[in-house]
Amino acid sequence: MAKTTIHKAGSRGHENHGWLDTYHTFSFADYHNSERMHFGVLRVLNDDTVAGGMGFGTHPHNNMEIISIPMEGDLEHRDSMGTAQVIKHGDIQVMSAGTGIQHSEKNKNGDKPVKFLQIWVFPNKENVTPRYGQITLNPADRKNRLQQIVSPNESDGATWIHQNAWFHLGSFDKGKTAEYTVKSKNNGVYAFVIDGDFTVNGERLNRRDGMGISETDKVTIEANSDKAEILLMDVPML
């Protein structure tokens, strides 16, 4: 029987620094919860809103796979590899920190916020050469179905990371359903509701709720509202 853990939106860690309003599904920065350190190799799931013209100054990372999913606005990225890019809704950004990288993230616009999910995944290979990747996807391709946005395979047409993990986004009308098959018997799935309401494996989830599901080979989802959006992260369990 599947094992499930539900994290309601209101139970997340929350910090509002003025320029940054952030919610932490797992322990991060000043938020520490010994029961919420990670889900398998999924280490960080931050829901960030950055005020106009503000951002994260240059800071280092190493041996982590970092995925950014913009939901609103434009996020400007610069790093020590010489990358200078802007990501917006419909884009997916990945960064393999590997042996070490420094980067900054800034709201490109001064008159409106930028909202994005920042996700960290433990890699399955350490001390790799740092790498940046970015793709633009068609949101219509996830209408009432799941669209792959991250995988371990460079040839998949999605962004890729150094881990046996697959991410999918779906945007569903009320009453529409989907079934997801877990890619590996050693993996679990963390479902995060970006917007709207869903039933996931029989559990009702609302906007910004999350649920970890392990020891199963299938995940079923049903949208309980229109314009419902969900992120599924299929990751190895530690």
Decide if pLDDT at 157 tops 80: no
Mean pLDDT of the chain: 97
Pick from 124, 128, 131, 123: nearest CA to 103: 131
β pairing state of 159-160 and 146-151: parallel
Contact 69, 231 (CB under 8 A): yes
**pLDDT one-digit tens code per residue, 160-203:** 999 999 999 999 999 999 999 999 999 999 999 999 999 999 99
Decide if pLDDT at 148 tops 80: yes
SS (H, E, C) 120-171: EECCCCCCCCCEEEEEECCHHHHECCEEEEEECCHHHCCEECCCCCEEEEEE
Tell me the one-letter amino acid at 30: D
Percent of the chain with pLDDT over 90: 97
**pLDDT one-digit tens code per residue, 26-83:** 999 999 999 999 999 999 999 999 999 999 999 999 999 999 999 999 999 999 999 9
Burial of 197 (0-12, 13-18, 19+ CB in 10 A): middle
Number of neighbours of residue 144 by Cβ within 10 angstroms: 13
Tell me the one-letter amino acid at 75: L
Decide if pLDDT at 141 tops 90: yes
pTM for the model: 0.97
**Amino acid 75: pLDDT:** 98
Percent of the chain with pLDDT over 70: 100
- pLDDT, average across residues 6-19: 98
**Amino acid 170: pLDDT:** 98
**Amino acid 110: pLDDT:** 97
**Amino acid 163: pLDDT:** 98
**pLDDT one-digit tens code per residue, 214-235:** 999 999 999 999 999 999 999 9
**Amino acid 156: pLDDT:** 81
